[in-house]
Structure 1
Amino acid sequence: MTEPPQYPSAPDPNLPPSAATPPPTPPYGGYGTPPGTPPPPPPAPPAYGAPQYGPPAYDVMAAVSYGWRGFKANAGTFLLLGILAIVIPGIVSFVGSAFNAGGSALADGTSSSMRIGFGATGGLLGFVFSIAAQVLSLFFTAASIRAAFDVTEGRRVDLGAAFTRWNKGQVILLAVLVSIGTMVGFILCVLPGIVFLFFTWFGMYFVVGNAQSAVEAIGSSFRFTADNLGNLLLLFLMAILIGLLGALACLVGLLVAIPLLTIAAAYTFRFLQGQMPVPVA
């Protein structure tokens, strides 16, 4: 006769849940390993200096220290670049002022028609040389940023190479757009102009370092600043302090302060985008 199928009996309601359903017995005597097997070794400790909790956090003092080391390692090139950035645009601006003054001087004591001609010619030449001086200053600024990026990339800083690998037209266009935006902001109520200037601070870094167009660079600078507002505010305040100290040192200190801050900003730009700058001894 066929025996009826056996079904599991219902658990006793008087027993606790843990007693009603005993856990399965692990193999090998309940320890999960065969008898006589030694326990697994503990995990190896992390290598010395390796991050244990993800990438390191940004430190504004580390950025300034990096800027100082980068300047010291390339002091000759950065000092020469700073001196040329003052002298060459200064000479061009002086020539423009001379044309303005010369046109006015030649206009004195002449007929009205000649006075207008000399004045207009001198004024036009003065304006052209003034614009040229501003463009030259802009190019020296971009070259300084390119040299700072070379430091973060472990390259040798070279004066001639600093004026290459960036688009001159986009640099000029960026300066024009930032100037217009800042001027409109100051007209509105001063504060919007300061905010616009701050949020476009890294526009030149996106043009020179990431080869972006002027319009793209402004948008990227806004997003980059908004995403890292606290860190960049600290860097901005540190830049004001170091700039004031450089100005107090008979303005000569600015030849050190400006490249130091430019390298620190390039370090910050790379670091906050997850691109660790090459260490500088």
Structure 2
Amino acid sequence: MPAPGAGYGPAVGQLDAVEALKYGWAAFTKNLGPYLVVTLASLALLAAISVGGMLLDGGFNAAVETADPDNPFAGAFSPWSTVANIVTTVIGSVISVGMLRMSFDVLDGRKAELGRLFQGYPVGAAILVSIIVGVLTSVGMMLCILPGIVAAVALVFATSHAVDHGRGIGESLTGSLNLVKDNLGPVIIWLLLALVAAIIGVCCTLGLGLLVVGPVISISTAYAYRVLTGGQVRTPA
């Protein structure tokens, strides 16, 4: 049996934003099945939970508005939607962690496999890291947006630390902070390019681009992390 793909050859510590996204696209197209299954299933599940929360809130909000029609905030609190948002946040974190595991496998020269979504790393710690990053980013966005952007950038590699190197929660968070701090320029360029590509991909395809954006960015994140930490990057199998 031949060995996994030959080394891809990026210079250690030198992150090329365009190359990271090109690698993400190439790896995605060679592993369409597993990535599309995960993405389609997650989008359907998250949408169903969100819609269910809104439907359950319909009767509750009507009752609040009827009881106090002069209250400008009547109906603003949506309990079931709040619960749905919490559930979708957790599920989204679980899915993103599993997809990142597949992405690191691809960088190792393996084919992406659904059976390895939650194997070979401390799953619980990785999910908690992903949730913490999501919560910090969301809270920061509510505090004048800028703190949320800072959190998203500073912690972009936290989950990668947990998945690829099996780090604990604290070590994953501080590891990402240090990695971004030491490579701030290339990381920001990569994130901005990824954001632009994602917006164009989704807007120009009436939302269908979501099926591509998630996997490509996941693979690109794994690629960026490996390059910046001097890890292995092989040609997509």
Q: TM-score range by the shorter chain?
A: 0.7 to 0.9
Structure 1, residues 61-107: CA drift from partner, whole Å, max 9, x if none?
Answer: 222221111001101111111111100122223333333335668x7
**Residue of structure 2 equivalent to 1:199:** 154
Question: What's the secondary structure of 1:251's corresponding residue?
Answer: coil
Query: Any stretches of 5+ residues in structure 2 without a counterpart?
Result: 1-6, 68-77
Check conservation: 1:166, 1:208, Cα contact below 8 A.
yes
Letter in 1 for 2:208: V
1:86 aligns with 2:43: yes
Change (3 A) 1:193 1:125: closer
- Equivalence map 1:34-53=2 (5 Å): none
**Residue of structure 1 equivalent to 2:90:** 135
Change (3 A) 1:95 1:167: farther
**Residue of structure 2 equivalent to 1:76:** 33
**Residue of structure 2 equivalent to 1:19:** none
Distance 1:267 1:183 in 2: 25
1:214 deviation in Å?
2.0
Change (3 A) 1:244 1:187: closer
Change (3 A) 1:56 1:215: closer
Greater Cα offset, 156-165 or 177-186: 177-186
Check conservation: 1:174, 1:204, Cα contact below 8 A.
yes
Greater Cα offset, 256-265 or 182-191: 182-191
- With normalisation by structure 2, the TM-score equals 0.77
Question: What's the secondary structure of 2:132's corresponding residue?
Answer: helix
- With normalisation by structure 1, the TM-score equals 0.66
**Residue of structure 1 equivalent to 2:24:** 67
Change (3 A) 1:93 1:272: same
The structure showing larger relative contact order (alpha-carbon pairs under 8 Å, at least 6 residues apart) is 2
1:169 deviation in Å?
3.5
Higher helix proportion (structure 1 or 2): 2
Structure 1, residues 129-182: CA drift from partner, whole Å, max 9, x if none?
Answer: 443232111111111111111100112211232133344433443345335544
Percent sequence identity is: 30
Bigger Rg over Cα: 1
**Residue of structure 2 equivalent to 1:178:** 133
Structure 2 residue corresponding to 1:272, chosen from 221, 228, 233: 228
1:219 deviation in Å?
0.5
- Equivalence map 1:163-174=2 (5 Å): 163-174=118-129
Greater Cα offset, 126-135 or 66-75: 126-135
1:187 deviation in Å?
6.1
Aligned pairs, how many?
216
Letter in 2 for 1:69: A
Check conservation: 2:122, 2:166, Cα contact below 8 A.
yes
Q: Give the aligned CA root-mean-square deviation in angstroms.
A: 3.0
Change (3 A) 1:253 1:166: same
Change (3 A) 1:128 1:184: closer
Distance 1:71 1:204 in 2: 20
Question: What's the secondary structure of 1:219's corresponding residue?
Answer: helix
Distance 2:23 2:46 in 1: 29
1:254 deviation in Å?
2.3
Structure 2 residue corresponding to 1:254, chosen from 191, 210, 215: 210
**Residue of structure 2 equivalent to 1:159:** 114
